[in-house]
Amino acid sequence: MLLNDEVKMLKQVPLFAGVSPAKLKLLAFTSERVSYRAGEVLFHQGDAGDAAFVLLAGRADVIVDGPTGPIKVADLEENAIVGEIAILCDVARTATIKAATPVEALRISKDNFFKLMSDFPEMTIEVVRVLANRLSQTTVELSEARSRVAALSKR
């Protein structure tokens, strides 16, 4: 894929929509293009967070370790960004990401990600929106799960 094609794809990612094409070209050039076959793992829960990934093509599953084994908690599609929590919070990966189909992704190093955020405050705001949306969804799902557990315990 040509650099200009990667820039066009990055423009489709809501996180990068406000970033100039010149900066996106630099981002694409300084990032690593990676490919995964269906079933391959991009990273494991507990790994050190050294990069974020933008899915350029394909789909992936978000899997967390549960008491009875792995649990699929979400699907990722083209233009999704993943792995940013670990680099933003400087914590271990919170989930395993596994390719559901062949995946083409851009691996953005921690340093490049932070540079982009400092150069483009609007991107930082979008990152906060994405994280807040995920937190809101998780809160709703946790509340629903607690309600189901409470209902079962009353039986």
Q: How many domains does the chain have?
A: 1
- CATH number for the domain harbouring residue 112: 2.60.120.10
- The span from the CA of 55 to the CA of 115, in Å, is 20
53, 116 contact by CB (below 8 A): no
The pTM score is 0.80
Q: pLDDT exceeding 90 applies to what percent of the chain? A: 38
Please report the pLDDT score of residue 101 as a whole number: 98
pLDDT greater than 90 at residue 21: no
Please report the pLDDT score of residue 88 as a whole number: 85
- The span from the CA of 57 to the CA of 41, in Å, is 15
Please report the pLDDT score of residue 1 as a whole number: 60
Residue 21 token pair: 């094409």
pLDDT greater than 70 at residue 150: yes
- pLDDT, mean over the chain: 88
Q: Which domain holds residue 139?
A: 3-153
